[in-house]
Structure formats: C-alpha cells, structure tokens
Amino acid sequence: MPTILWLLLALLVFGVLAYRRARGAAWIAAIAALIALSWAGALLPRWANVALTLAAIVLVPPLSLPRLRRALLSDALLRVFRKVMPPMSQTEREAIEAGTVWWDGELFSGRPDWQKLLSLPAPKLSAEEQRFLDEEAETLCAMVSDWETTNVYKDMPPQVWQYVKDKGFLGMIIPKEYGGLGFSAYAHSQVITKLSTRSGSVAVSVLVPNSLGPGELLLHYGTDEQKRHYLPRLAKGLEIPCFALTNPTAGSDAAAIPDFGIVCWGEHAGKRVLGLRVTWDKRYITLGPVATLLGLAFRAYDPDHLAGDKEDLGITCALIPTAHPGVNIGRRHMPLNAVFQNGPNSGDNVFIPMDWVIGGQPMLGRGWRMLMECLAAGRGISLPSSNTGMAKLAVRATGGYARVRTQFKVPIGKFEGVEEALARMGGNLYMMDATRVLTASAVDLGEKPAVLSGIAKLHITERARQVINDAMDIAGGKGICMGPSNFLGAAYMQIPVSITVEGANILTRSLIVFGQGAIRCHPYVLKEMAAANEPDAEKASVDFDRAMWGHVGFVVSNLVRTLVMGLTGSHFVRVPDAVAPSTRRYYQQLTRFSAALAFLADVSMGSLGGALKRKEKLSARLGDVLSSLYLCSATLARFEREGRQESDAPLMHWAIWDAMFKAQNAFEGVISNFPRPLISSLMRMIVFPLGRPYVVPSDKLGHEVARLLIEPSPTRDRLTVPMYLPTAEGEPVADIERALVATLAAEPIEAKLKAAAKAGALGTALAPGEGIEELAARAVSAGVIDAREARTLVEQRALVAKVVKVDDFGPDLGASLLQPATSTRASARVGAAA
C-alpha cells in the first residue's frame, strides 16, 4: 500500500511539474524530495530505494550539467539529427524562413496567452481613411455596374479606370512621401472589401497593384532611384503595374520557372552597359495586357562571371517598361467570365540594363526571398478582403431574398432546410470577417505573418465558396439566370479564381499551413535545424543541446497537458478574467486543442521524420487544427472588440462550435490514418481519453443565426459593413432591401387577411384571378384593414415581383447581351459620377 501511495504521489508531482512546465531545478528538487520521503518513511522496499538513489546519482548530473550532457548525449543526438533531417533546397528554406511568427507561435505553444490576444489594439481607420471609404470608394462603387463592366465594356469602363487612377486607388500602400495614400493594411482591406461587394473585376484591378507586385517590391527592395522614379508614377496611376511569375510549366512550383536572363554587356540608351538578356513566357498575369510596367521574375545566370563568382544566381526580379522593344503583351485570357485584365506575355532575348533589376545588381538572385517576404503581407489582405466582400454581398442579399421570396405560402428563409444553409452563411461570414480584420491588424503591427496569411487566404476563400454555394442554392433559378438583376452569378463564377491564385488552396492546405507552421511556429524545431546547419562545432553543440532538451520538456509537458485537459474536460484551465462569461469554455477548450496539436505535431514529426512532408493528408489535417485555432481566436477577439454584442452572439457561437467540431474531426483524421498503429492508439488515448466531446452547432443555434439574416437589424448591418448599399431603383440589392422592409411591414397585414378569411369575414384570402389590389379593396370594404394598410400590401407585392423577376433577352442572346435594359441608366450614372 505505501508503495502504491508513493507511486501515485510521484506521478502526481511529476504530472504537476510537466503540466506547469517547471524548470530543471524544480524537477531535481522534486526527485530528491521523493527519494528522501521514500527512505524516511520506508515507503519502498530497500532494494528499490537503493536502485532509485543510484539511478538519480547516475542520471541527474549528466542531464542537468550542460557540458556533461552535451558530451554524453546531445552531441551524439546531433549527429543522428543531421542524418535524418530531411534535405531542404535553398528555395524551400527561403520560403520557410520568410515572414514573422505572431499569434501562430502562441497557438503552437500548447499554452496560448489569451491575454496577449485580447490586449491587441482595435484596428481603426484614420479620419482620412474613413472619408476615403465613405466618399471615393462609395463613388467608385456607384460608378460601376458589374453587368456592364462584364458584358458591355469587357473591362472597367474608361471613366472608371480614370477615376481609379486619379483618386489613388492603385497606390493605397504607397507612402505619402511618394505621393501614395499611405493607408494602413486595415484601411486597404476595408476598401477592397467594399469594392468586392459591388464588382469583382474592379476589386481585382485595384487589389493587384496594392498586393504583391512592383509597388510592394520597390518599397522594400528598390534602389532610391527606382523608388523616386516609379513610386510616384505608380501612386498616381501613371504606370499600370503587373507582376509576372507564372510560366506554363511552373504554376504552383513557381521556384521552377524556366524563364532566364543571362548577364552580359549590351547596348542601352546609346551606351554599352552591363545587363541581362532575358527570355520568358508567362501566363495568367493580372493587369498584364494593359500594364505599362512589367514586374518580371526569371532565373539569372552569369556564365561569364561578369557579376561575380557564381553562375546560377537564382530567381531575380526586374521592372521592365512594356514599351521596351521585344516585350510581347496585350493578349487576354478570359478567367471565368471575369473581365479584369489578365493574359500572357513573353520576350525572347530582350536586353535590359542591370539597373532595371529591383534593388540593382546586389539583388541579383535574391528574388525568391523578396517574393516570399512580400507574399506574407499581401496574401493576408487581398483575397481575404475580396472574398469577405463577396460573402457580405451574398449574405445580405440572399438573407433579404429568403424573406421576400415565398413558396408554399411561407418565406423560404423560414424552412428548416434553408435555415440550415443561412446559418452556415452567417456563421462563416462572422468568422471570415473576424479573421480578415485580425490578419490586417497583424500587418499593421509590423508583422509579416507568413503562416497566418496562408491560413487566412485558404480558409476565407474556402468559406466564401461555401457561403456563395449556399446562397446559390437558396436563390435557385434567380442566381442562375445571368442578367443585370442577378446579384450572385458573378461572385459564383469568380470563386475558383480566388481558390487558385496566391497559392492554390490544395497546395496551401497540404504543404504550407502545417509544413511551414510546424517549423516556424514551433518553439524549438527551427532552432534545432539552425544548430544542425551551424558550421561552428562548439556553437552547434551548445545551441542544439539547449533546443533539443527544451524540445523534450515541451513534448512531455504537452503530453501531460493534453491528457489532463482531456480527462478534466479542460475545466481547470485558467482563462483571463476579462472574457465574456459565455465564451470562457471556448478559451479552455482551445487551450486543450493547442496542447493536443503541439503534442501530435511532435509525435508526427518525430515518428515520420522527412516522410511527413509526403504525407500531405496528415499534414493538411494538422494544418486544419492550427487553422481552426486561429479562426476561433479571431472570432473571440472580434466578439470582445465589438463590445460583446449580445444580439450577435449566435453568430459567434455557431462559428466556434462549427470550427471546434471540424478541428476535432481533423484530429480524428490524423489519429485514425496515422501509419503506426501503436502510436495511433496511444494518440487516441491521450487526445480523446473520454471520447470526442464536440458536436455540430445545434439546430436551435442555427435557427437563431438564420433569423438574424432575414430581417433588418443592427446585427445584419454589423455583419455586412462596409458593404456598398445602392439605393437606385432597379439595382438588385436596393430592390431587395426595399422589398424586405415592405415585407416586414406587410406581414401583420397579411396575418389579418388570413385570420379574416379563416373567420369567413373575407370570403377567400385570394380568389382565383384576383389581383392584390382587388383583394386589398375587398378587405378595406370588409373593415379588415384600412386604406393605408391596403397600400402597404399592394406596394409590397410590386416590390417583391421586381425582386423575383429574372432577366430575359431577345432570341439573339449575344446581341441582346450588349444592350441590357439597364445600360442607359447605368451609363448616365457613370457620366454623372465621373
């Protein structure tokens, strides 16, 4: 009995130390105390006490004295580590090392400091940014009709191009000193979000120059002269930039581009200068067909050693005026009917002077690192913002439509089946928007969040796809038949573009989120890798020893924490006092998932080693857990930042339950497919010792979310701000908004008619062939409703009829498309705005 008690005590003491990540001294003290207790109380048989004491004397000093530990253990392990460490190319290394680690580091720590998240300053627009959003962005939205842009102009109309250039939309990220708007990432994101609620083509045309491209690259790496020359011209729209990386043979594997430049002497502006003879073949280049300034990525070679010792210099970025002889540009692709400018370009042996290389000669071969560094910020803003914008449009318009469109005499939004889709739309949008804003805030705090921007891009575009698919299902034929009154079809068509660009989603999910996250966000892995690559033997030994033993403690701690939190339902996890009571449990559960992720990540990396890189399905699922943790963090932070709006709470709760359930499934996917059966069973026992606790969001919660979408309310406004809300008659969104208000006003009147019909006071509710006017008149005569109510009813029916109507065209569809019914009115508006 005493032996069992001692063992239980030892287990408890070690468990507490591991759970709390105690330092080495605390472990030594605990071991000494336990052995002393055992001797003093004779709690263990004498032989066991002797064995334990000897083991402690033999093991503790080498483990606690760094020099001895290194000589006896760590150096040997370093040699093994060097052998098993998967090989990494220079481009892989640069991709992994790019950007910074921020909140993702906390999520990977197994013990996120929630206070840090909650203390982040709320993103705010300056007065100037707010004015731009309310005036210039509003006017730009009013100027365009997506239908005309797509079908009449097949481009942004000339007046719209001019307005975009004149007002500085193309230079939002360029600092004021160069004539740009110098906006924060948050302001940039707000503008793109707003434009995307109106026209995808306009949003893309604006977002590309503000994302990864000549502007961003020049700002960070350009020579002073390049900056002085190009940045003011880009800011004022005197140059239209594009950036060309993709080649027909190298899409996702962009580092493998075959486009090349040979360092050589050549003739430029009447002088003999050092430069490069460049050959390239690019496709899919946004703004390419109309660009005046081509940002070009190619591989530079120096066979004659004119620039240094190396021959293969690596990927290089240059800026080439498209008027330069030999640049072939102008042909267009047609990306799923979207008409933003996009097309191929090429050049064959085109000589460019060395000072066209971004950053000049010293930056030869540094292009990949430049691109990876800049991608981290741009990827976190452009597509997350444009896709959140499209989802806002879909949610607002479809929610309204679902209330005014009736079938079986019931608004379709009140059917449980439709409610389910509406709930997904609302919950997803709340989370997408939260993630967009948190990621933009990180950029404004000076971060280049490489992993988090990948997560934001991947999950916001995936959720946008879900939102728009749900919206299409709800809208039925109204979403399918194209025409000026279709408010969804264009967004539906453009979703695959978002999925594919800036890191195609399958690749991002399978390779980047966890692949990069596990190395970058892990507190020890990158340090171990750096130590293994360290040429100074003494430094390598010291660094590896420190990182490796830290890593061992980290794994043990996460194992214990995962198990303990699993057994206790994470009820004892400490949460900052300042969180909304209704969300406390989420923080506790997310802490549990963070520890479980860290534990599974280490077990996976430890047992599969380099093979994990090829096990994309496992890697993707571990990435899904990390992503869910980030999306939930953003959602909780939003709820707090917005003052815990009680009426928005169902959106927040739905989003968290959904994401937690998905994270749990991702864990299960890893565990049940883990290729080592014994490890898989152990993983399950540790991660889910009492089974899987999370379930899908309840139907009741889904019902509450759906109700929020089908009637006007501050919640619906908060969810869709800063959406452009047109007011002109004939605008589909404006018509829906009016019909929605009218429908809510008409519903009680209709209830009176129904009750009267049931009581026999009105004959029938609607006699065969009878119009609403006749029915209303009958009801007024019968004293069921008054004249004002009759008018309300008649007006509502007219507004709903407009909303339900779909466009039709003459038999010659092609010719008719060019003359839509709205063209005169929209053109007039364009003229007025211009």
Could you say which of 319, 497, 548, 800 contacts ligand FAD (CB under 6 A)?
Answer: 497
Cα–Cα dist 478/585, whole Å? 42
CB of residue 395 to ligand FAD, shortest distance in Å = 24
Could you say which of 251, 550, 712, 730 contacts ligand FAD (CB under 6 A)?
Answer: 251
> Which CB, 187 or 317, lies closer to ligand FAD?
317
Our finding on whether 742 is near ligand FAD (CB under 6 A) is no
Give the dihedral sign, CA 418/420/422/424: negative
Could you say which of 382, 428, 486, 510 contacts ligand FAD (CB under 6 A)?
Answer: 510
Cα–Cα dist 312/79, whole Å? 31
Our finding on whether 319 is near ligand FAD (CB under 6 A) is no
> Which CB, 283 or 585, lies closer to ligand FAD?
283
CB atoms within 10 A of CB 571: 10
Could you say which of 501, 532, 622, 799 contacts ligand FAD (CB under 6 A)?
Answer: 501
Helix (H, G, I), strand (E, B) or coil at 680: helix
Could you say which of 109, 151, 189, 286 contacts ligand FAD (CB under 6 A)?
Answer: 286
Query: Which residue has its beta carbon closest to ligand FAD?
Result: 251
Cα–Cα dist 730/119, whole Å? 46
Range in contact with ligand FAD (rule: CB under 6 A) among 60-68, 239-247, 306-314, 647-655 = 239-247
Cα–Cα dist 98/148, whole Å? 41
CA 257 to chain centroid, in Å, comes to: 26
| Count of residues that bind ligand FAD according to CB under 6 A | 21
Our finding on whether 342 is near ligand FAD (CB under 6 A) is yes
Could you say which of 108, 284, 298, 401 contacts ligand FAD (CB under 6 A)?
Answer: 284
The string over 192-207, giving b where at least 16 C-beta atoms fall within 10 Å of a residue's C-beta and e elsewhere, is: bbbbbbbbbbbbbbbb
> In the 8-state DSSP scheme, what is residue 648?
G
Range in contact with ligand FAD (rule: CB under 6 A) among 161-169, 281-289, 527-535, 568-576 = 281-289
> In the 8-state DSSP scheme, what is residue 788?
H
Range in contact with ligand FAD (rule: CB under 6 A) among 237-245, 356-364, 381-389, 437-445 = 237-245
Range in contact with ligand FAD (rule: CB under 6 A) among 36-44, 280-288, 402-410, 631-639 = 280-288
CB of residue 352 to ligand FAD, shortest distance in Å = 18
Helix (H, G, I), strand (E, B) or coil at 337: helix
Our finding on whether 441 is near ligand FAD (CB under 6 A) is no
CB atoms within 10 A of CB 646: 10
> Which CB, 287 or 394, lies closer to ligand FAD?
287
Range in contact with ligand FAD (rule: CB under 6 A) among 446-454, 501-509, 602-610, 716-724 = 501-509
The string over 525-545, giving b where at least 16 C-beta atoms fall within 10 Å of a residue's C-beta and e elsewhere, is: bbbbbebbebeeeeebbbbbb
> Which CB, 112 or 295, lies closer to ligand FAD?
295
CB of residue 338 to ligand FAD, shortest distance in Å = 7
Could you say which of 44, 285, 294, 437 contacts ligand FAD (CB under 6 A)?
Answer: 285
Cα–Cα dist 141/158, whole Å? 15
Our finding on whether 252 is near ligand FAD (CB under 6 A) is yes
Could you say which of 245, 371, 429, 709 contacts ligand FAD (CB under 6 A)?
Answer: 245
> Which CB, 90 or 647, lies closer to ligand FAD?
90
Range in contact with ligand FAD (rule: CB under 6 A) among 278-286, 302-310, 765-773, 816-824 = 278-286
Our finding on whether 655 is near ligand FAD (CB under 6 A) is no
Closest by Cα among 346, 335, 251, 359 to 296: 346
Establish whether 731 is a catalytic residue: no
Pick the catalytic residue from 94, 502, 704, 731: 502
Range in contact with ligand FAD (rule: CB under 6 A) among 3-11, 410-418, 494-502, 538-546 = 494-502
Our finding on whether 500 is near ligand FAD (CB under 6 A) is yes
Closest by Cα among 76, 126, 116, 153 to 817: 153
Beta bridge partners of 312: 301
Give the dihedral sign, CA 775/779/781/787: negative
Could you say which of 102, 243, 667, 674 contacts ligand FAD (CB under 6 A)?
Answer: 243
Could you say which of 174, 240, 244, 425 contacts ligand FAD (CB under 6 A)?
Answer: 244
Q: Output the six-digit token pair for 2.
A: 């005493």
Our finding on whether 504 is near ligand FAD (CB under 6 A) is yes
Q: Output the six-digit token pair for 436.
A: 């967009």
Could you say which of 214, 289, 335, 384 contacts ligand FAD (CB under 6 A)?
Answer: 335
> Which CB, 13 or 493, lies closer to ligand FAD?
493
Phi, psi for residue 292 in degrees, rounded to 5: -105, -15
Our finding on whether 507 is near ligand FAD (CB under 6 A) is yes
Our finding on whether 511 is near ligand FAD (CB under 6 A) is yes
Residues whose CB falls within 8 Å of the CB of residue 674, separated by 6 or more in sequence, listed in order: 604, 618, 680, 683
Q: Residues in the chain, how many?
A: 834
Beta bridge partners of 296: 244, 318
Contact 345, 395 (CB under 8 A): no
| CA 413 to each of CA 706, 708, 717, 749, 792: distance values in angstroms, whole numbers, following the listed order | 8, 11, 18, 19, 22
> Which CB, 64 or 500, lies closer to ligand FAD?
500
> Which CB, 263 or 383, lies closer to ligand FAD?
383
DSSP one-letter string for 440-489: HHHHHTT--BHHHHHHHHHHHHHHHHHHHHHHHHHHTHHHHS-STT-SSH
> Which CB, 329 or 719, lies closer to ligand FAD?
329
> Which CB, 656 or 666, lies closer to ligand FAD?
666
Range in contact with ligand FAD (rule: CB under 6 A) among 179-187, 348-356, 500-508, 553-561 = 500-508
Our finding on whether 498 is near ligand FAD (CB under 6 A) is no
One character per residue 601-640, x = contact with ligand FAD (rule: CB under 6 A): ---------------x------------------------
> Which CB, 420 or 616, lies closer to ligand FAD?
616
DSSP one-letter string for 247-260: BTTBSSSGGG---E
Contact 716, 396 (CB under 8 A): yes
Contact 495, 463 (CB under 8 A): no
Range in contact with ligand FAD (rule: CB under 6 A) among 236-244, 471-479, 660-668, 670-678 = 236-244
The Cβ-side half-sphere exposure at 800, using a 13 Å CA radius, reads 24
User: By CB under 6 A, what part of segment 150-209 binds ligand FAD?
Assistant: none
> Which CB, 171 or 515, lies closer to ligand FAD?
515
> Which CB, 507 or 721, lies closer to ligand FAD?
507
Give the dihedral sign, CA 753/755/759/764: positive
Contact 550, 524 (CB under 8 A): yes
Residues in touch with ligand FAD (CB under 6 A): 242-246, 251-252, 284-286, 335, 342, 497, 500-501, 504, 506-507, 510-511, 616
Which residues are known catalytic residues? 502
